[in-house]
Amino acid sequence: MDRNKIITTQIIEDVVNKSSSDRIMIHDIIEAMESVGFGLVMMVFSFGIIIPTPPPFPSIISLPLVIFSLQMAIGYSAPKLPKKLSNLSVKRSVLIMIVQKSSFLIRKVERFLKPRFMFLSQSYGERLVGVFLLIFSSFILIPMPLSNYIPGIGILITSFGMLSKDGLFIIIGIAVGIMGVIISILALFIGMEFFYYIKDFFVNIF
């Protein structure tokens, strides 16, 4: 079996299965994914944004995304969280829900991932990707129409590319994220009805 498939489908499940507690420390989640780099943590936290959850959960969970993106942009080799954030915990049931709802999409997408356009996975390329992800994740913090969903999808697609060193997926993810930012800004001036149609379009795809 491909190593990336093992990573994306098993690491987070192992964290859940090994814990007998009702709550799981964020520190334990990050520590389990640290050796993989930024790709997996960005994927897991972006799923927490695009999987329907009551507000203000999407905005709260975007804060670690901002921190990880900033770390990428300035050249960190692995994700780190400040102690106050890493000592927080999440309900085991919430993590199980995210794993269950994301597993199907992960396995579906993995078939199309392969190493290409490798310059985006090298040091300076990864920093550039980090800058875009910082913009998207910062934008999610702003309470604007559609400001979390489409940029969240962009981060998710980008994270798939990061995991498999697939530059094509990284480029597509960045393009989707930019489109999400533009759509959210336009929604303030043009009106929401048309843009909810666009959101439904993305929901049907994913």
Count other Cβ atoms within 10 Å, centred on residue 58.
Answer: 20
Output the pLDDT for position 186: 77
Output the pLDDT for position 58: 60
**CA dist., res. 8 & res. 202, Å (int):** 22
Output the pLDDT for position 145: 59
Query: 3-44: per-residue pLDDT in tens?
Result: 444 445 566 677 777 766 777 777 777 777 665 678 888 888
| Residue scoring higher pLDDT (131 or 181) | 131
Domain boundaries, position 126: 3-205
Where helices occur in the chain by DSSP H, the ranges are 3-18, 26-33, 38-50, 57-74, 83-86, 92-110, 123-140, 149-164, 167-190, 193-205
Residue 6 CA from chain centroid, whole number: 18
Output the pLDDT for position 82: 78
Q: Is the pLDDT of residue 54 over 60?
A: no
User: What's the average model confidence in pLDDT over 87-95?
Assistant: 73
- pTM value is 0.79
Whole-angstrom CA distances from 60 to 47, 96, 132, 162 are 13, 19, 19, 23
| Total structural domains within the chain | 1
Question: Please, which pLDDT band fits residue 156 given cuts at 50, 70 and 90?
Answer: very high
